[in-house]
Amino acid sequence: MTQTHKKLFIKTWGCQMNVYDSNRMGDILSSLGYKTVDTPVDADMMILNTCHIREKATDKVFSELGRLRVHKENKEAKGGKMLIAVAGCVAQAEGDFILERAPFVDMVFGPQTYHELPEMILKASGDERVINTEFPTISKFDHLPDVHTIEGASAFLSIQEGCDKFCTFCVVPYTRGGEYSRSEQEVINEARRQVDQGALEIMLLGQNVNAYHGKTADGGTSNLANLIRKISEINGLERIRYSTSHPRDMDDELIAVHGEVQKLMPFLHLPVQSGSDRILEAMNRKHKADVYRDVIAKLRKSRTDIAFSSDYIIGFPGETEQDFEDSMQLARDTGYVSCYSFKYSARPGTPAASIQAALVPDDVASERLQRFQALINEQQAAFNKTCEGKTMPILFDRKGKKDGQITGRSPYSQSVYVNGNDRLIGSIVNVNITEAFDNSLTGNIEILDDETA
């Protein structure tokens, strides 16, 4: 008897945690006979894993749904059936609205419910529309099957979810719920499985990953520093990263681990959002700009080759030219490898969305954003330039755009393109960097003397 797989199409927006979640949904559904495909045409099930962090998120979901609806109708015209599901943070925030406005959507469910997918699919297959946006009392992590799907040699591993910090601009505490840490053993087991499946690099993920406080085997509480020490002992694992961190949770022990654990990459994404103490306070970030400067200085002392990236919000309500200049100054003082900057976007239901006073006009915010990004582009180009002539270990993870080219990531997550054999994909190889561009590097694979002999 030949087994036919059902086709599953997943489209993912948003942060790395959504990418992790999409992979895990794929794992759950593979145990129900689904196989992921890369086109929605003729799929048996489609999942849109959505993000609600900035504006137009909901509009994007509806326009994508409009496109997918055609595929569903085509399939039904041929007597087939297709389930359409909306998952992720827009589903959590706008679930009822989606079901109301898109009658062809079969399932809507939030980020904490993925372990209930088999039951939800059963219901939806029986022609019942499903909405599930509860925050269950049991954790989804305890009920997900073992990890099967990793992204090549570099794997994402969610160790912590949700957020209790309530920055005034942010939807995450509402869409993901309160902070939750997985137990240390659970994380270590999953890391081992990922390494067994070929991962050389693991990115530990959480909305506030450095607030991690999972249980230890003896009933105590761990922290990120301890977890990193333990994970670094896994044979075959070469690189560890973590994201996203909050400056307030960057304690001395974690800072020290950057100096101790060589597998921990010398690159840290540490979002600050603003360089103005006034704005930081209005954002409820609960620290001053100088605290960030201190943390950066301590990290540099602990690991001399460390470099940074960050997130800044430009045009938060009340931001004056001076506040903006303070953000520019903080970026100048830090000097980034790369940095994301976003124009402030008022999110329904967040405290900042009801601020009426001193709103920054859109054209002013756009102009500031441009100035900020120009500074960051300069910093990025300058950092890339310092890599010329150096030898860097590159984790090759895919083919390049041109024939005979492969591409990978440096310790600083820069994209590196070289001419090389596909066989090197999935390994870490030393590359002599010959030329730096604005967004990438190129070089030659280092030939060791004994190989040429």
What angle (nearest 5°) sits at the alpha carbon of residue 359, between those of residues 207 and 366?
A: 75
Of the candidates 182, 246, 368, 409, which one interacts with ligand SF4 according to CB under 6 A?
246
The single-letter DSSP state of residue 107 is E
**Which residue, 362, 341, 345, 343, is CA-closest to 353?**
345
Of the candidates 9, 14, 29, 416, which one interacts with ligand F3S according to CB under 6 A?
14
**Which residue, 405, 404, 408, 425, is CA-closest to 416?**
408
User: How many angstroms separate the CA atoms of 70 and 151, rounded?
Assistant: 30
170 is a contact residue toward ligand SF4 (CB under 6 A): yes
E-strand spans in 52-152? 83-87, 107-109, 130-132
Q: Which C-beta is closer to ligand SF4: that of 245 or that of 334?
A: 245
342 is a contact residue toward ligand SAH (CB under 6 A): yes
- Shortest reach from residue 100's CB to ligand SAH, in Å: 25
**Which residue, 109, 119, 55, 65, is CA-closest to 87?**
109
Strands 201-205 and 180-181: unpaired
C-beta separation of 424 from 406 below 8 A = yes
The single-letter DSSP state of residue 16 is H
Of the candidates 12, 207, 222, 379, which one interacts with ligand SF4 according to CB under 6 A?
207
Stretch of 20-28, 64-72, 254-262, 337-345 lying at the interface with ligand SAH (CB under 6 A) = 337-345
208 is a contact residue toward ligand SAH (CB under 6 A): yes
Burial 406-424 (b: 16+ CB within 10 A, else e): bbbbbbbbbebbbebeeee
15 is a contact residue toward ligand F3S (CB under 6 A): yes
286 is a contact residue toward ligand SAH (CB under 6 A): no
What angle (nearest 5°) sits at the alpha carbon of residue 296, between those of residues 290 and 347?
A: 70
Of the candidates 17, 153, 270, 406, which one interacts with ligand F3S according to CB under 6 A?
17
Site string for ligand F3S, 23-62 (x = CB under 6 A): ----------------------------xxx---------
Q: Which C-beta is closer to ligand SAH: that of 151 or that of 311?
A: 311
Nearest residue to the partner ligand F3S, using Cβ = 14
Q: Which does 345 bind (CB under 5 to 8 A by kind): ligand F3S, ligand SF4, ligand SAH, none?
A: ligand SAH
User: How many angstroms separate the CA atoms of 445 and 448, rounded?
Assistant: 9
93 residue type, one letter: A
Of the candidates 147, 163, 250, 441, which one interacts with ligand SF4 according to CB under 6 A?
163
User: How many angstroms separate the CA atoms of 413 and 433, rounded?
Assistant: 14
Q: Which does 342 bind (CB under 5 to 8 A by kind): ligand SAH, ligand SF4, ligand F3S, none?
A: ligand SAH
The counts of H helices and E strands in the chain are 13, 19
C-beta separation of 145 from 28 below 8 A = yes
- Shortest reach from residue 173's CB to ligand F3S, in Å: 10
Q: Which does 436 bind (CB under 5 to 8 A by kind): ligand SF4, ligand F3S, ligand SAH, none?
A: none
Subset of 372-391 contacting ligand F3S (CB under 6 A):
none
- Shortest reach from residue 199's CB to ligand SAH, in Å: 24
C-beta separation of 388 from 434 below 8 A = yes
Query: Both tokens of residue 180?
Result: 């939750």
Q: Which does 166 bind (CB under 5 to 8 A by kind): ligand SF4, ligand SAH, ligand F3S, none?
A: ligand SF4
Of the candidates 97, 125, 138, 166, which one interacts with ligand SF4 according to CB under 6 A?
166
Q: Which C-beta is closer to ligand F3S: that of 175 or that of 309?
A: 175
Subset of 28-57 contacting ligand SAH (CB under 6 A):
53-54
Q: Which does 89 bind (CB under 5 to 8 A by kind): ligand SF4, ligand F3S, ligand SAH, none?
A: ligand F3S
**Strand partners of residue 259:** none
- Shortest reach from residue 129's CB to ligand SF4, in Å: 30
Stretch of 14-22, 145-153, 263-271, 338-346 lying at the interface with ligand F3S (CB under 6 A) = 14-22
For every residue of 348-415, which 3-state class applies, written as one string?
A: CCCHHHHCCCCCCCHHHHHHHHHHHHHHHHHHHHHHHHHCCCCEEEEEEEEECCCCCEEEEECCCCCE
Point out which residues bind ligand F3S (CB under 6 A).
Answer: 14-15, 17-18, 51-53, 88-89, 171-172, 175-176
Point out which residues bind ligand SF4 (CB under 6 A).
Answer: 163, 165-167, 170, 172-173, 207-208, 246
Point out which residues bind ligand SAH (CB under 6 A).
Answer: 53-54, 169-170, 172, 207-208, 244, 246, 271, 273, 311, 313, 342, 344-345, 347
